[in-house]
Amino acid sequence: MTSNGKPKFAMYWAASCGGCEIAVLNIHEKILDVDANFEVVFWPVAMDAKYKDVEAMEDGSILLTLFNGAIRNDENEHIAKLLRQKSKILVAFGSCATEGCMPALANLTSIEEVVETYYSTISTDNPQNIHPQPTYKAPEGEIYIPKLYPIVRTLDQVVEVDYYMPGCPPESHQIAAVIDLVIDVLQGKATLPPKGSTIGAGGSTVCDDCPRKRDVKKIKEFKRIQDVMLDPEICILEQGVICSGPATRNGCGALCPQAGSPCIGCYGPAEGVLDYGARLLTAVASVIDSNDPAEIERILDGIPDPAGMFYRFNLGGSLLRASKAAWAK
């Protein structure tokens, strides 16, 4: 492929669902600006390319790489290191890359258990009991599939990251704004934020953008969303349904609570917060309206899966990262 002289752009998906790619395409005609200003050199979902093409590029020759997905296997890690080497600006794009997201919830169990659940449990139709084998000797030679790591890692636990863009996926208007910013920087009209910054997000939390009425919080019972008719005007947390809004960085425009669903925390921790789950946990614990240990116990029983609730998106980026079960081997 010959260069057209424009700055080079790459996007990659590691352990991810593909939602981030769709979010990028969802910027509509803005994608034409990307094409006008960048030469897309590597973007597996959108164009054909080989890893060896990337390996052949000069170090630092890609201006901007949006890297989504967590580091689940050795292929993910290899490409992360490769793109780090080839890119001037590496952005951890989306929740998986910034904080582990859903893939990192596997860090609560051992990798054997993950594979077992995937291929052998009752919900799986696998009559021949086929399990993936790491290597296979074909007539043409030995082939292999990427090796799974016991712990899912975030991008910055593997390589140095320049910027973080949270969200599952990042909101399209935020992506568009970031692309505009980079174009402005290219044209000398703006400067980049300090390295390590979170971009494409707000500086407060979701409650800041949420129009629901709020009062002091006193919770006597936690309810699950399917068991309750939510009042459309009042703070969801006050109604006993755990809303992660108070702990979650804003930038999405509080879409979920406005649609009658609690915030589930995909934009990650607020600026300066070390451990998202711990913060949310202490906040939720703080508003339980009881001093009686037995009653508190009963109220807490209303949260059937605390790790999944409070660390839904952040387990990989949390202080603990994984449970003992995952580390055990």
Least distance from another protein to the Cβ atom of residue 236, Å:
11
- What is the distance between the terminal CA atoms of the chain, rounded to a whole angstrom? 45
Nearer to another protein, 117 or 282 (CB): 282
Contact at 8 Å (CB) between 276 and 318? yes
Least distance from another protein to the Cβ atom of residue 250, Å:
7
Nearer to another protein, 69 or 245 (CB): 245
Q: Could you tell me if residue 311 is left (phi over 0), alpha (psi between -120 and 50 degrees) or otherwise beta?
A: alpha
Least distance from another protein to the Cβ atom of residue 103, Å:
24
Least distance from another protein to the Cβ atom of residue 15, Å:
28
Nearer to another protein, 38 or 310 (CB): 310
CA nearest neighbour of 268 among 181, 209, 179, 206:
206
Nearer to another protein, 104 or 206 (CB): 206
Tell me the DSSP string of 201-252: S-SSBGGGG--SB-----BS--B-GGG----SSB-TGGGTB---GGGBBP-S
Least distance from another protein to the Cβ atom of residue 318, Å:
14
Least distance from another protein to the Cβ atom of residue 201, Å:
13
Nearer to another protein, 39 or 209 (CB): 209
Instruction: Indicate the pairing of strand 163-165 with strand 87-93.
Output: parallel
CA nearest neighbour of 246 among 284, 197, 218, 199:
284
Nearer to another protein, 107 or 205 (CB): 205
Nearer to another protein, 145 or 287 (CB): 287
SS3 13: strand
Least distance from another protein to the Cβ atom of residue 235, Å:
8
Could you identify the residue written with the tokens 């406005």?
A: 258
Least distance from another protein to the Cβ atom of residue 173, Å:
20
Kindly list the residues in this chain that would bind another protein in the complex (CB under 8 A).
203-208, 214-218, 235, 237, 245-247, 250, 269-274, 279-280, 282-283, 286-287, 291
CA dihedral 80, 83, 84, 86 (to 10 degrees): 160
Least distance from another protein to the Cβ atom of residue 263, Å:
11
Distance CA 307, CA 313 (A): 10
Contact at 8 Å (CB) between 91 and 66? yes
Burial (0-12, 13-18, 19+ Cβ within 10 Å), 149: middle
CA nearest neighbour of 263 among 278, 271, 272, 252:
252
Name the token pair of 243: 């809303």
Distance CA 94, CA 171 (A): 9
Nearer to another protein, 5 or 194 (CB): 194
Nearer to another protein, 74 or 209 (CB): 209
